[in-house]
Structure 1
Amino acid sequence: MCLAVPMKIISISTDRATGSADFDGVKRDVNLTLIENPCVGDYVIIHAGFAIEKFNVEEAEKQLEIFHELAEAMEGQK
């Protein structure tokens, strides 16, 4: 099973096809070719290494809060 993760674009290559994104200090190289006009600071959903959707800061904050709650719940099950 794959999971789509909300991440913030932190750098973009000169050809604008790839970049780096961050989620809570975890950085990943990502492919940006599937989204229109990616910019540093944009929040995107990453799936299988591809940015598949761009969304606003408010929605990103909601998504990140859900991920943090999920991580806390999973940690409590150990």
Structure 2
Amino acid sequence: MCLGIPGQIVAITAPERMMAMAEVSGVRREVNVACVADGPLEALIGEWVLIHVGFAMSRIDPEEAEKTLIALHELGEVAEATGQMAEADRALAQ
């Protein structure tokens, strides 16, 4: 099943490509923020977003992010998603 997973934007990495670093349960991954940018990209730092296949699809509030992460942890989805993110990052680094 494909689903969005909450992540927090922690840095802007390539503004010319609309890319930012997001953290999901301790795993960091670069994501495209074009769908959620409505002003200066720096304003996204600290914001929570739903991430799907490398894109921040929508902003969510911190409470919703926390509830979603708890539910996904209970279902085992977070471990699977963060494992896939880490694996993809390792593959890109080679």
TM-score by length of 2: 0.67
Q: Cα 1:47–1:14, aligned 2, differ >3 Å: closer, same or farther?
A: closer
Higher normalized helix content (fraction of residues) = 2
Between the two proteins, what is the percent identity of the paired residues? 40
The CA deviation at 1:14 is 5.6
**Structure 1 ranges of 4+ moved more than 3 A:** none
Structure 2 unpaired stretches of 5+: 80-94
Please name the residue that 1:53 is paired with: 58
Q: What residue ranges of structure 1 are gaps of 5+ in the alignment?
A: none
Give, in angstroms, the shift of residue 36 of structure 1: 2.9
Deviations 1:4-39 (A, max 9, x none): 111111111362711010111111110000113451
Q: How far is the alpha carbon of 1:2 from its aligned partner?
A: 2.5
Q: Which has the higher strand share?
A: 1
